[in-house]
Amino acid sequence: MKNFFGCILLLFIFESNAQNYFSVIAKNGLSIREKPSLKSKRIGKLEAGKDVVLIAKSGKKLSVTDDDQIINGEWYEVEGTNENPQGYVFSGYLLAKKENPNTNIGCENRIPCHSTISFEKFDLKIYNYQVQENPTKKQDTIQVFEYVFNEIGDKLLQILPKQKKDSIVVSYMVVENINEQYDYRKVESSDFEEWNKNSVHWKGQEPFVTIKNNLNFFRIPKTEYEQKEVLRKQNFKLKDTLIDLSGESSNIATLIYKGKPCTYGLGPVIIRIELYTENGEKSVRFLVVVLSYGC
């Protein structure tokens, strides 16, 4: 009996942690219906990129054809939003997300809520994500800086090719940084540049990881910062430390590298976009996202 209740508890935990949050990936928007049927009354419409919260899965299956591609799914009942009522939507045009959209920080009014970065053969759009103005362009790469308190992880990205039949492959990687901790108690600010030249540094990166293409929408995975640091310590056989010399910015040494107390950080995130034309021609472009760690 005890084992039985244990199984029930595990089942409850699993169900309560099941995926409940989604983003709309229908490029022309997704209809909300009163009941789980195409014949039911249309009571609202969700724009592409809109985040929704699942109430229940109906179990009623549906398949549609979109640009000669078969999309399979079922009817989901979703919570109402400020713009639309509660109702049923087709799950084939939903992409799972990790974080509750109701906890998102609002957009800064003077900057567009969605960021669009233009390359010569496509536009790259990131929903509910703001970057600072004046991106840097150099050859095949555009660099942007996250606006304060924004985070690229778990955000929805869309590629809009100029030619409809172009195919897209997107991958990403995160740069890791180990830097000797600046000890202002021992090094004067006037000597910082000389100290920095001789200080311990390491920068590394893992291979690019391909992100699944969902109708040219992509979910940027959320980076588990602490987990990556633990793995780096294990791979390099580094000792732990904890020396907090934070001032106006974070300056916390958490590891010993080459005998020096060092800080560990992540960034930038590099997104690689491969575009293939109908004739098989390939072009590769990069978006470098410099992460924001607050003020």
| Residue 91: pLDDT over 50 | yes
**Spatial contact of 129 and 152, defined as CB atoms under 8 Å apart:** yes
**Spatial contact of 283 and 273, defined as CB atoms under 8 Å apart:** no
For the segment 288-294, the average pLDDT, to the nearest whole number, is 86
Q: Which of 10-24, 30-44, 52-66, 263-277 has the lowest mean pLDDT?
A: 10-24
Which residue, 179, 185, 174, is CA-closest to 197? Answer: 179
Higher per-residue pLDDT: 30 or 3: 30
Burial of 195 by CB count in 10 Å (0-12 exposed, 13-18 middle, 19+ buried)?
A: middle
- Round to whole Å and give the CA distance between 130 and 246: 27
| Residue 122: pLDDT over 50 | yes
Q: Which ranges of the chain does DSSP label H, i.e. alpha helix? A: 2-16, 192-198, 225-236
Q: How much is the mean pLDDT over the chain?
A: 91
Is the pTM here over 0.75, yes or no?
Answer: yes
pLDDT of residue 224: 86
pLDDT of residue 295: 54
Q: Please write the tens of the pLDDT for every residue from 195-204.
A: 999 999 999 9
Q: What percent of the chain has pLDDT over 70?
A: 93
Tokens matching residue 279: 């004739």
Tokens matching residue 252: 């916390």
- Split at pLDDT 50, 70, 90, the class of 290 is very high
pLDDT of residue 18: 57
- Round to whole Å and give the CA distance between 115 and 132: 9
Q: What percent of the chain has pLDDT over 90?
A: 80
**Spatial contact of 74 and 60, defined as CB atoms under 8 Å apart:** yes
Tokens matching residue 217: 């929408």
Q: Within its chain, how far is the Cα of 30 from the centroid?
A: 22
Q: Please write the tens of the pLDDT for every residue from 174-221.
A: 999 999 999 999 999 999 999 999 999 999 988 999 999 999 999 999
Higher per-residue pLDDT: 248 or 11: 248
pLDDT of residue 292: 87
pLDDT of residue 12: 41
**Spatial contact of 58 and 136, defined as CB atoms under 8 Å apart:** no
CA dihedral 156, 158, 77, 71 (to 10 degrees): -130
Q: Please write the tens of the pLDDT for every residue from 230-283.
A: 999 999 999 999 999 998 788 999 999 999 999 999 999 999 999 999 999 999
Edge to edge, what strands does the sheet with 217-219 contain? Answer: 115-118, 122-126, 156-161, 217-219
Instruction: State yes or no: cis peptide before 36, omega within 30 of 0.
Output: no
Task: Give the DSSP H or E segment for 202.
Answer: strand 201-205
In the chain, what is the greatest distance between 2 CA atoms, to the nearest angstrom? 74
Q: How many CB atoms lie within 10 A of CB 291?
A: 19
Count the helix, strand and coil residues of the chain and give each as a percent rounded to the nearest 5. 15, 45, 40
> In whole angstroms, how far apart are CA 25 and each of 15, 29, 92?
25, 8, 9
